[in-house]
Each structure stands twice: as structure tokens, then as C-alpha cells.
Structure 1
């Protein structure tokens, strides 16, 4: 009986011991790790996914990468944070080369392009007012896309903070979601059979400058 109890105790304790010995991730959801100052977007690890509905059959999506810009933080007053990021629309990618080319091709016979057109200007989002609730924030700002500026709201959540083991820089990361109407920005291709509403899924990291 004692031997059985001992084996049972070892069986229970072993996973707990292994768990406690597991290495801690560099980034943790701990706001006390955040220090004030200006942070630069980690362009290599920040992405914006966009998603639209195609003809009512299915959704398809693509990505914007190489996000650049700044985040100014004051941990004592998180609502005073300022975000200013640019998104290189010309670097849009999808899983289909044909679709990517369609997004970036010029308009026919000198007309307006279906979507972004050749060599489109980068988009820019600048925060105007931020409401913070715990580890979540509602970021009200202005998005400039295709030469048009409109108010856009991003629902953001703090993911983690800590020292990046590669760059050795203090890093903070966030996840965000937003919805826009592309017609607001003059991106009119295939409306309404390709949805006007575009869902944006944002993952972004900032490193201390």
C-alpha cells in the first residue's frame, strides 16, 4: 500500500516539477514591466491581416507587413499614449500571385485602378484619443489610405512586455482589431460582390528607442 501511494505521489509531482522548471517566456502580460518613453515598431514582427468576403462564397485575406512608426508610453498615464504608424500598401501580399498583381495593377486605359493601383502611397494611422480599461484600450484615431483620411477605432489588447533576447531592447506587444469600409477610402473594385467591409487583425510589437 505504501509503495502504491509513493508511486502515485511521484506521478502527481513529476508534471508539476517539470512545469516549474520550464523556461519563462521573455515577454509576459505584466504591465509593471513597461517603462516610459518612445518605442519604435518592430517591423519584422508586426503584421496587419485584412479580410473581405468574396461573392458571398467565402472570405479571403492578405497581409501588410513592414509596419513602421512610434508608440509613446507613460505607464503612470496609459491613456496619454500616442501611436503613429505607417503601413506600406505597395508591399501587400496574398497567397495568389494573380490576386496580388490585381490589387496593385494600374487602371485600364488611364482609368482608376480596381483596388490600390501601382505604387500606392503608404497608409498611416495616428491616434487622437485613447480609452484604457485594464489591459485593453480603445484607440480612436485617423487613418489615411488612398489619399483619404477618415476616423477609425482600434480595439487593442496588451499581450506582453519584457526584454527581447535577440535585440536586448525593452519590447511591448499588442493585438488589435478594427473594421473599415473600403469605399470610404475610394477603394471601389468589385463592390458590392466583394464586401465593402474589411476586417483588420493587427499584431504589433514596439522596441524601446
Structure 2
């Protein structure tokens, strides 16, 4: 009984120590300027294609890494550099995952990563911007533009790191990158959706 009470007290103390959701700052102008790294465990790159005209189908690439340099007073100077491991692809279908990393699709053995480097950032609203850059996928580099929005900033109650949250989306034609299997039965146009967390580097 005492052990149960001790555990309950510990859980309660932990819960009390957590900041309320409302304490996350959604004011983009209040973001701390500096250099950040991708918080991989809470960052995902999702793609969707239309499957034979029947339904939309989704997959996810976890395990992203990279960096962000940002100053809200000079957003145009922001720099983003992100790498995503292709072999991490997950569709919840093991057989399909194995097919996607094969030479017929992403060819992860030969081209193990996707890489995006920003070239231009343009503010479009209080919490939004377009991020133009070069995407390297399947050994091909093409310009891509992402529509990004700022979610919030807060100190992560577990890691204690000051963390920024963003969402971004864009569209590519996969055949432009040489990923042409079953196109256009499986749609050429591919939607990319990114949810990302960035932790500020310690000074």
C-alpha cells in the first residue's frame, strides 16, 4: 500500500511540474534567435500518393537529422539543412516497406538519404513562410518550395531544451527524381507533409 502511495505521489509531483499547454508561446516574433538541431524522435516526414485512383496512401520517414539557424528579426537569413534516411520508410506494411527501399523505388542501398537545403525564406504571414531550397532524392537534385507554419515554442518539460515546432508541406513529381515505378497509376504528384521539432543548441 505504501509503495502504491509513493508511486502515486511521484506521478502527481511530475504532473504538477509540467507546464500547461497554454504556456507554449505561439508568437513567432518571440522565438529565441540561434542555432537549432532537429529533435529526431518527434520529427516526421510523411508522403502521400494516390493509389490507382482509388484512395490516398501514406508513408512516413522517421529519423530526420539536421540544423536550423533562425532569427525572427531577420527571417530571410534563416538557414535549414535536413537529412532523412530513406531506409526508415514505414507504411505499416512490411512487404511494401521492403519494396520501397529496393532498386525499383528509392534504392536505399545506393541512395541512402534525402537531403534538403534551403536557399530562400520569405515571410508570408505572422506565423507562415515559404521555404525554397534544393531537394536531393534518388541521386537527383531539384528545387522544391515548402509552405511552412510556426506552431509554438516552449521548454520541453522532459529534456529541458528550448524547442521550436513547425509544420510544412509541399508537392513534388516523383518521376522528376527518377522514382517512376507504376506512374501514373500510382500518382506522379506526391504530397510531402513535415512535422518538426528543433532544439536550441547550448551556448
Alignment of 1:1-209 (within 5 A): 23-105=20-102, 113-119=103-109, 120-133=111-124, 134-209=126-201
8 Å contact kept, 1:123–1:143: yes
Q: Would the alpha carbon gap of residues 170 and 23 (structure 1) be closer, same or farther in structure 2, given more than 3 Å must change?
A: closer
Q: Unaligned stretches of 5+ in structure 2? A: 1-18
After alignment, is 24-33 or 176-185 more displaced?
24-33
The alpha carbon displacement at 1:31 in A equals: 2.2
Contact 1:173 1:206 (8 Å CA) reproduced: yes
Deviation at 1:118, TM superposition (A): 4.4
TM norm structure 2: 0.85
> Is contact 2:118–2:131 with CA below 8 Å preserved after alignment?
yes
Aligned partners of 1:175 and 1:45: how far apart in 2? 12
Native 8 Å contact 2:152 2:165 kept in 1: yes
Aligned residues: CA RMSD? 1.4
Deviation at 1:62, TM superposition (A): 0.5
Structure 1 length as normaliser, TM-score? 0.83
**By how many angstroms is 1:32 displaced?**
4.3
- Residues 155-204 of structure 1 show CA distances to partners (whole Å, capped at 9, x for unaligned) of 00000011111111111110111100100100011111111010011100
CA distance in 1, matches of 2:150, 2:108: 35
What is the aligned length?
A: 181
Structure 2 contact 107–138 (Cα < 8 Å) conserved = no
Gaps of 5+ in 1: 1-21, 106-112
| Cα pair 2:30 2:72 within 8 Å, conserved | no
